[in-house]
């Protein structure tokens, strides 16, 4: 298992704007990504206004999920069987083989991290550690530079999805695994993804 580095989070401040209330900022953030408890004002607004916010998103086909223990809130597409149509606010996009492997690795690393004793709640990797984590499961070509480029593209994709976050400047080499990954990949979803990866690997053989 790769060596990990742990650090403590710092709260973020939300700028005041006399034209919009705190509820507007909370709704806007939930449209683009999760709200974390370190975003103190946004987090408290979501908790205080949860009934209104839940009704708002329910009207457009989304469920509001608040996990007090893990410290995040997000919206999730309502899925219904049958012919009932549900409005969607985003398009489904294929992750790709390497990015999917990275997500599975991160989910399992997060589970191991949570099961181990320790005071830190943040799991952090360097980019080099992430490359090593993925490359052990990816068939290498004869071009090491190309292999590294493929993994780096997967890392950027997972960052874009909000499951990794760069710590410090944009050029930083250190990334935090976001705990929202636990909500997106529960045990059943994780096993399903693993099975698809196995079948994909067999077809590539």
| Global confidence as pTM | 0.73
34: tokens are 């999760």
- Model confidence over 88-135: pLDDT tens digits? 776 666 778 889 889 989 998 998 998 988 777 889 999 999 999 998
If asked whether residues 162 and 111 sit together in one domain, one would say yes
Domain C-terminal end among 27, 59, 90: 90
Residues 33, 34, 35, 39: is their CA dihedral positive or negative?
A: negative
Count of structural domains within the chain: 2
If asked whether residues 84 and 101 sit together in one domain, one would say no
- Model confidence over 47-77: pLDDT tens digits? 999 999 999 999 999 999 999 999 999 999 8
User: What CATH number corresponds to the domain at position 177?
Assistant: 1.10.10.10
User: What CATH number corresponds to the domain at position 56?
Assistant: 1.10.10
Looking up tokens 């360097």, which residue turns up?
126
Specify the 3-state DSSP secondary structure of 194: helix
User: Is residue 197 within 8 Å of residue 101, measured between CB atoms?
Assistant: yes
Rg (CA), the chain: 19
Domain C-terminal end among 36, 68, 90: 90
Residue range of the domain that includes 153: 97-204
188: enclosing H helix or E strand: helix 187-204
Of the candidates 112, 98, 107, 125, the residue with the CA atom closest to the CA atom of residue 3: 125
User: Is residue 26 within 8 Å of residue 53, measured between CB atoms?
Assistant: yes
From 8-17, 23-32, 141-150, 184-193, the region with the lowest mean pLDDT: 8-17
The average pLDDT across 24-39 equals 94
35: enclosing H helix or E strand: strand 35-36
> How far apart (Å, rounded) are the C-alpha atoms in residues 201 and 196?
9
In a domain, 138, yes or no: yes
Domain C-terminal end among 55, 72, 90: 90
> How far apart (Å, rounded) are the C-alpha atoms in residues 75 and 64?
5
């Amino acid at each position: 298992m790769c060596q990990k580095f742990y650090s403590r989070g710092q709260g973020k401040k939300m700028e005041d704007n006399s034209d919009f209330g705190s509820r507007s900022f909370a709704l806007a953030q939930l449209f683009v990504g999760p709200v974390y408890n370190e975003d103190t004002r946004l987090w408290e607004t979501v908790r205080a206004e949860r009934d209104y916010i839940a009704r708002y998103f329910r009207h457009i086909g989304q469920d509001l999920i608040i996990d007090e223990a893990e410290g995040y809130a997000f919206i999730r597409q309502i899925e219904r069987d049958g012919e009932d149509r549900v409005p969607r606010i985003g398009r489904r996009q294929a992750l790709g083989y390497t990015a999917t492997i990275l997500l599975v690795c991160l989910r399992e690393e997060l589970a191991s991290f949570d099961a181990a004793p320790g005071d830190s709640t943040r799991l952090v990797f360097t980019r080099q550690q992430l490359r090593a984590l993925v490359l052990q499961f990816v068939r290498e070509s004869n071009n090491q530079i190309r292999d590294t480029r493929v993994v780096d593209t997967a890392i950027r994709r997972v960052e874009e999805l909000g499951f990794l976050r760069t710590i410090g400047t944009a050029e930083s080499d250190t990334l935090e695994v976001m705990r929202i990954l636990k909500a997106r990949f529960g045990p059943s979803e994780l096993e399903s993804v693993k099975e698809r990866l196995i079948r994909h690997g067999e077809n590539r053989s």
